[in-house]
Structure 1
């Protein structure tokens, strides 16, 4: 069976690459299962401290759902596949480690929804992005109607979703959808550099910071501050917290073990 997902581990960084370039990395059922299997493995691997997800080549990050495959599905199969895409996108958001989407080409529909579930988005200057579903008689169904307005504001998100507009990297940066634009040949290198900058810090701290931010943003400030306090308290008895203090006192770089 073909493999549509490749995972390479460089030191403590996992690089996940979608390798279905001939189909613009569209999310077929098999590819979705492969992605979830890879994410499950990464999630519980404490030697992996940050993740970069990208597409093979320079044409497509992910074109969203595999509409050619879907044409041959009955209604029940279609519903199951839509649910699987939603589960997969959520899996990126719930991954313990920080995730950087290195958007190397087109990211339309479910492809952009997947990127929105990542922590940071870095795009090639030639990338194109958009939630294009209303042009196909549907709506974003893998979190796009919820994550985009939380990221850039309700009015801007409504405009982009209602118009199914396709944005250049520059336009997406202006909207606040992506955090960085880099030249195509430098994308993976820059994304990996950013991942390393994160990975040098205490891994348990990264996990709790991600938890506090993601959960806190879904509630009122009072509850969010309690979530932050609980996340902080989980670090008080860790070896890494003591190592961080010791390294600071000794004026050296800390060596974190994730314990």
Structure 2
């Protein structure tokens, strides 16, 4: 079953729109959905597309992160194997030669927010809600949350968001400097396409080299930072708190963490 689709749009069909389409689960991604995203990104990266938009078929939720029902009762080994696939998915978004624009309405939480952070630009509705609630489930962001959020907003603010797991409104995200454009929900798609068209109208090789240069020159390289981040992430997997956090989510109750 296709949970992700893509199509060419725009005046010269130079824009690729990737649509997350698992609305019944708020676009929570499973292994199957991650494989679909990975495959689509790899296909687009090899194409003559000039700019990419990632959108949702559900205005109430961009993506709520990894499907914890699928992850419930996974062994440590199974969890790590699946997470390697998720890492490949996140990296395939960030590594596309074309600039990628996240178009966000509704919830972008946990891995869903990390999909957004792995994009180059963010256009969001004032009804959007962002958050990295992993600490409330006994784990930490493992797809770029700590590495990328602190590159977009002030470090002290990034620490607050990841250490509290708070929900952040579109307006607060914009004040923090996270967004490129904040708009009304009704105007979201129009504003996003307008931005994408501006990028697509420029020389594609120049644009691609601009993106690569900014990424490479901003402090630690992505490859170095990815290795450091995943080491910290893996420390959280083999813990009682991780098992309790996922189980409590599935059972719809407040988790009881013991620090083990």
In the alignment, the residues of structure 1 paired with residue 36 and residue 220 of structure 2 have an alpha-carbon distance, to the nearest angstrom, of: 33
2:246 corresponding residue in structure 1? none
In the alignment, the residues of structure 1 paired with residue 85 and residue 179 of structure 2 have an alpha-carbon distance, to the nearest angstrom, of: 25
1:155 corresponding residue in structure 2? 156
C-alpha distance after superposition, 1:147-199 (max 9, x if no partner): 11111122111111111110110011111122211111221221111101100
1:9 corresponding residue in structure 2? 8
Contact 2:26/2:58 (8 A) holds in 1: no
2:34 corresponding residue in structure 1? 32
Structure 1 runs (4+) deviating above 2 angstroms are 72-75
In the alignment, the residues of structure 2 paired with residue 87 and residue 219 of structure 1 have an alpha-carbon distance, to the nearest angstrom, of: 19
Over the aligned positions, Cα root-mean-square deviation in angstroms equals 1.2
Contact 2:154/2:176 (8 A) holds in 1: no
TM-score by length of 1: 0.82
Is 1:184 the counterpart of 2:172? The answer is: no
Query: Where in structure 2 are there 5+ consecutive unaligned residues?
Result: 222-260
1:51 corresponding residue in structure 2? 52
Structure with higher Rg: it is 1
Query: Where in structure 1 are there 5+ consecutive unaligned residues?
Result: 221-259
SS of corresponding position for 1:101: strand
1:117 CA displacement: 0.8
TM-score by length of 2: 0.81
In the alignment, the residues of structure 2 paired with residue 41 and residue 218 of structure 1 have an alpha-carbon distance, to the nearest angstrom, of: 29
Please list, as runs of the form range in 1=range in 2, the aligned pairs for 1:201-240 lying within 5 A after superposition.
201-219=202-220
Please list, as runs of the form range in 1=range in 2, the aligned pairs for 1:11-160 lying within 5 A after superposition.
11-46=13-48, 48-160=49-161
C-alpha distance after superposition, 1:68-114 (max 9, x if no partner): 11114332221111222222112111101010000121001111111
In the alignment, the residues of structure 1 paired with residue 213 and residue 136 of structure 2 have an alpha-carbon distance, to the nearest angstrom, of: 36
In the alignment, the residues of structure 2 paired with residue 160 and residue 62 of structure 1 have an alpha-carbon distance, to the nearest angstrom, of: 18
**Which structure's relative contact order is higher, taking Cα pairs within 8 Å and 6+ residues apart?**
2
In the alignment, the residues of structure 1 paired with residue 75 and residue 186 of structure 2 have an alpha-carbon distance, to the nearest angstrom, of: 42
